[in-house]
A = this chain, B = another copy of it.
Amino acid sequence: MLNPHFITVSDCLRTQYALVRTRSVALSEPLSEEDCCVQSMPDASPIKWHLAHTTWFFETFILEKFESDFHAHDPAFRVLYNSYYNGVGDKHPRAQRGMLTRPSLAEVLAYRSNVDDRIQTLLSKHDLFSPHSTELAMLVELGMQHEQQHQELMMTDLKHLLSLNPLKPAYSAEPLQPALTPPAITWLEFDAGVVEIGHASDSFCFDNELPRHRQFLEKFSLASRLVTNGEYLEFVKAGGYKDPSLWLSEGWDWISTQHISHPTFWHPAQSAAPAEKPAGWLEFTLHGILPLDLHRPVTHISFFEAEAYARWVGARLPTESEWEHAAGTVEMIPGNLEPQLHPAPYDHHTALVDMFGVAWQWTSSSYAPYPGYVSAEGAIGEYNGKFMVNQYVLRGSSCATPTGHARVTYRNFFPSTARWQFTGIRLAK
């Protein structure tokens, strides 16, 4: 999965490792012990758990294999911080992660330091071009990519937790500027034909992006930008959540049973304050509760909502192959260079914009193995393959995705009801 040749010296990998690992702790710094401990729902995990689990990953899959005198930092952590790797043994139940007030945050940070020191020592001792070291470098790369995934989850899990608090606390006190008026959507057309899909180069990718293979695409068009809050609000106002003919049957049952009538972090404005006037709606963000910005892309949208919206406007969601083919074909405007706490769209009137760095984009594709897919041997093989059922693929990346983590062939996936990620809508025809 990784070609070690791009790592010219082990120093490079050690530096990257330190940067990734430091960023996770930095994300937790504005937070109290309590903020880091609580679990807001079974699908989300506490910040502290993320900090510990990403460390467990390095300890379990690297130190245990490469340290000659390996001993666990704490044997209990093997169970406490195993997420879903049956091949490694028992796991603390997912829904009970928030019960772990011990080990304390300080103990988890000490665990991180201990494992970091040992990884750095390990890397400094290895000639990364030997065959054995190639595996080491590949696993460290995997661990870093894994940690980046958890960095995004830290932000979305935290946002969900804070959203449940009636005080609507802000993660960041920094003010947010209103977005500019977006250009009208234009449609980029693509011809029918056999295309190649999947990761091609020798740079890092996850196993679910392989093997590269051929697919036949019929002619299609892709929207130049994402759907905005303002556009989505028209759907809400037009009774989109009350018309069963717009919804998949299971989606209709879901919004009916759960009493869903708008995106998850929207709130009807109750005051007549001018700031709230434009929309009549507020939105909970990591910057606190704010008037809904009609010019920003709509986010925190489930697959069912994205699919119903697309039907309402006479369009559809793209397949993941269409998305990937388009992204690899035409000019794209480079996305945000640094992650943001809230989606910031680009102001470009041509080209495909916001493919990356703004909002994950639902596709109509069920998450499934590519033809010829083989998962890795052992517990590492549980990383991706076993989730390939009843989930839908999202493409691109979001404002919360770490720098350098996204790529054209990247396959994110969530169940059709997931709403707490930065998920948005790009239309196709």
Point out residues on A near B: beta carbons under 8 Å: 32-38, 40, 48, 76, 79-80, 84, 86-87, 92, 96, 98-105, 161-162, 164-167, 169, 192, 194, 213-216, 218, 220, 244-245, 247-252, 303-304, 307, 364-366, 368-369, 371-372, 382, 386-390, 416
Chain B residues near A104 (CB-CB < 8 A) = 32, 34
Whether A161 pairs with B390 at a CB distance below 8 angstroms is no
- State in angstroms the CA–CA spacing of A101 and B105 once bound together: 15
- State in angstroms the CA–CA spacing of A218 and B213 once bound together: 8
Question: Which of B32, B99, B161, B371 is in CB contact (< 8 Å) with A165?
Answer: B99
- State in angstroms the CA–CA spacing of A369 and B363 once bound together: 13
Specify which of A84, A161, A366 lies most central, judged by the most chain B CB atoms within 10 Å of its CB: A366
Known: A40-B99, A84-B249, A99-B164. 10 other contacts (CB 8 A): A34-B34, A35-B102, A86-B252, A102-B169, A216-B216, A245-B382, A249-B386, A250-B387, A364-B368, A389-B416
Determine how close the nearest CB of chain B comes to the CB of A409; give it in whole angstroms. Answer: 17
Chain B residues near A364 (CB-CB < 8 A) = 368-369
- State in angstroms the CA–CA spacing of A101 and B34 once bound together: 5
Question: Which of B76, B98, B218 is in CB contact (< 8 Å) with A98?
Answer: B98
Determine how close the nearest CB of chain B comes to the CB of A315; give it in whole angstroms. Answer: 13
Determine how close the nearest CB of chain B comes to the CB of A237; give it in whole angstroms. Answer: 21
Identical copies of this chain, number: 4
Whether B218 pairs with A216 at a CB distance below 8 angstroms is no
Whether A248 pairs with B165 at a CB distance below 8 angstroms is no
- State in angstroms the CA–CA spacing of A101 and B46 once bound together: 12
Determine how close the nearest CB of chain B comes to the CB of A192; give it in whole angstroms. Answer: 8
- State in angstroms the CA–CA spacing of A372 and B322 once bound together: 14
Q: Is the interface of A mostly helix, strand, loop or mixed?
A: mixed
Question: Which of B40, B166, B169, B250 is in CB contact (< 8 Å) with A390?
Answer: B250
Whether A86 pairs with B245 at a CB distance below 8 angstroms is yes
- Smallest CB-CB separation from A100: which chain B residue? B165
Known pairs A249-B84, A416-B390; A166 contacts B101 (CB<8 A) = no
Chain B residues near A372 (CB-CB < 8 A) = 218
Known pairs A98-B38, A244-B86, A366-B368; A390 contacts B390 (CB<8 A) = yes
Specify which of A84, A249, A368 lies most central, judged by the most chain B CB atoms within 10 Å of its CB: A249
- State in angstroms the CA–CA spacing of A87 and B101 once bound together: 35
Determine how close the nearest CB of chain B comes to the CB of A241; give it in whole angstroms. Answer: 14
Identify 26 residue pairs between A and B in the complex whose beta-carbon atoms are under 8 Å apart, listed by A's number.
A32-B102, A33-B37, A34-B101, A38-B38, A38-B101, A76-B167, A80-B167, A86-B245, A86-B252, A87-B245, A99-B164, A99-B165, A101-B161, A102-B169, A103-B167, A214-B216, A215-B215, A216-B216, A218-B371, A218-B372, A220-B371, A248-B386, A248-B388, A250-B387, A252-B386, A303-B389
- State in angstroms the CA–CA spacing of A135 and B105 once bound together: 46
Chain B residues near A220 (CB-CB < 8 A) = 371
- Smallest CB-CB separation from A387: which chain B residue? B249
Specify which of A34, A40, A92, A388 lies most central, judged by the most chain B CB atoms within 10 Å of its CB: A34
Whether A101 pairs with B165 at a CB distance below 8 angstroms is yes
- Smallest CB-CB separation from A248: which chain B residue? B389
Whether B218 pairs with A101 at a CB distance below 8 angstroms is no
- Smallest CB-CB separation from A367: which chain B residue? B366
Determine how close the nearest CB of chain B comes to the CB of A393; give it in whole angstroms. Answer: 10
Chain B residues near A32 (CB-CB < 8 A) = 33, 101-102, 104
Specify which of A38, A92, A251, A389 lies most central, judged by the most chain B CB atoms within 10 Å of its CB: A389
Whether B92 pairs with A166 at a CB distance below 8 angstroms is yes
Chain B residues near A80 (CB-CB < 8 A) = 166-167
- State in angstroms the CA–CA spacing of A167 and B75 once bound together: 11
Chain B residues near A164 (CB-CB < 8 A) = 96, 99
Determine how close the nearest CB of chain B comes to the CB of A163; give it in whole angstroms. Answer: 9
Whether B245 pairs with A216 at a CB distance below 8 angstroms is no
- State in angstroms the CA–CA spacing of A266 and B49 once bound together: 27
- State in angstroms the CA–CA spacing of A101 and B36 once bound together: 9
